[in-house]
Amino acid sequence: MPKIETAIVFNRKSGFSREMSAPEYERLYRGNKALGIEAMHPGEDKDLAFVSAKDGTPLTFRGSYDRAGRTGFIAAHWARQKGFGDQDHIFPRNDNSRVSTIKQALKEERVLLLSLNMELASRPVSFQDMEEKGAKRLKDWVGEHRGQYLSIPVKSVNDALKALKTARRYGAVLRDQVFAHHEGAVVPYRNFYLGDKRDHMLSLQRTMQEGKGGVPIGNTRMIGFPRLMCFVPTDTTIDPPDERAHTALHGNHLKRDQGKPFYTHLVFTHKDDALATDPYKILEGDITAGHAHYVLASPSVTVGEDPKQFAAMRWNINAIDLQTQKLGQEGEEQLARAIKKKNYSSNLYVQRVEERAQNNAAREQNQEHPENRYAEPPPSIDPE
C-alpha cells in the first residue's frame, strides 16, 4: 500500500484545518517517550481528527517505533482505518450494507461526499486551485463540515448512480446534502450532476473558455472537473449522412440564439486501440440505435474558439465499462418526455424511444393473449 505522506488534520469544534505530516503531528501533540520526543503542545489534540488528503476517508495516527527483534526504525505515519483501504469501499460490496450505511449517515444529518477514485481526465491533473462558484479545496471543505460526512468511494458511474438513488430514496435533498470530490477539489451536487440539462452544459462550456471550472493545459485547452451527464445521441449520430459521420459520437444538440449549435462529443484515450475493443463496439451500437447513456467523465474545451462556430464540449473516456451506462427503459421514457417538453432537437432519439415502448407494450400484450401473437402490428410500428 502506498505510504501516506500527509493528512488533513482538522478541529471538530472550530473547523480549522491544514495538511500535516505524521512526524510533525507527533512532535506537536503526541510526543514519544520511548524515543525521547517531547510534545510541544501535549493534550491539545483531543478535538482533532484526520482524513486522507486524497479522498477524505478517515485515517489513524501511528507513532514512531523501533521494530522489535529487527533492525530498522519506523517513522510516525498515517494509516487507513479498517474498511477504508485503497481496495475497500466505505461499506461492503453488498446492497443491504450500502443502503443501511447511507441511511444511517442521513439520519445523523451528515452529508455525503462522492469521492471519485478514477482516472477521468485525459492526463493527470489537480483541481485544487480551480476557480468555480461553489468549489472548495478538500481540506477547507472538511474543516467546514467538521468531519460530519460520509465519504463514498466511487469507482464507476454505476457506483455514483447507486449512491444517489439510495440517498434520494431515504429523503436526502441532493442539492444540499451531496458533494463530489476529485483530485483536491470538492463541488456541490448542482455543479456535479448535469443530466441532460443542455443549457447548463453550454454555460459550463462558456465558463471553461473563460478559464474557470477546470485547469488549463497549455494555451488552448481546458480540462474540467468531472461531471455526471446524460449523453443523448444527435439525429446525425443515429442516422449519419455519410460513413465519416458514423464514427463520431455526438450528443446533446442545442440550438443557440447566436452562432452554430452546441453539442457534446465522446472522445477516447488511445482512440485507435479503443475503437477496436468490444466495449466500444457495444457502446457505438447502442448509441447509434438511439439509446442514451449516463457518462461520468471530465469535459474539455478548446479556448479561443470563434463563438459563431459550433460550440463543442468533449468528454474524455478512459474506461468505457466504468464510465458509461445505458439508461433503462423507464429512464429513457422519462427522458424522452422531458426532451419533448423542452423542445430540444433530439427528434430521432425520441422517436426511437417511443418505438421501443410501443414494441414492448405489444410484446406484453401478445404474452397475455397468445391468440394475438401473429396478429398484424399496429400501423405505428415498423414491421421490420
The answer to whether the CB of 201 falls within 8 A of the CB of 313 is: yes
pLDDT of residue 211: 86
pLDDT of residue 373: 43
The pTM assigned to this predicted structure is 0.80
Give, rounded to a whole angstrom, the gap between the first and last alpha carbons of the chain: 56
Spell out the residues 6+ positions from residue 363 whose beta carbon is closer than 8 angstroms to its own. none
pLDDT, residue 244, reads 59
Half-sphere exposure of 165 (CA within 13 A, CB side): 9
What is the model's pLDDT at position 231?
Answer: 97
Mean pLDDT, each 10-residue run in order, the chain (384 residues): 79 85 90 86 88 83 72 78 52 53 91 92 87 92 88 93 94 94 94 95 91 87 95 93 72 88 92 88 95 96 80 93 95 94 89 92 71 40 29
pLDDT at 74: 80
41 φ/ψ sector (left φ>0, alpha ψ -120 to 50, else beta): beta
Say which DSSP state 112 is in: E
CB 348 within 8 A of CB 241: no
**Contact partners, residue 273, CB within 8 Å, separation at least 6:** none
Dist CA 209 CA 222 (whole Å): 7
Say which residues have a Cβ less than 8 Å from residue 347's Cβ, sequence separation at least 6. Answer: 235
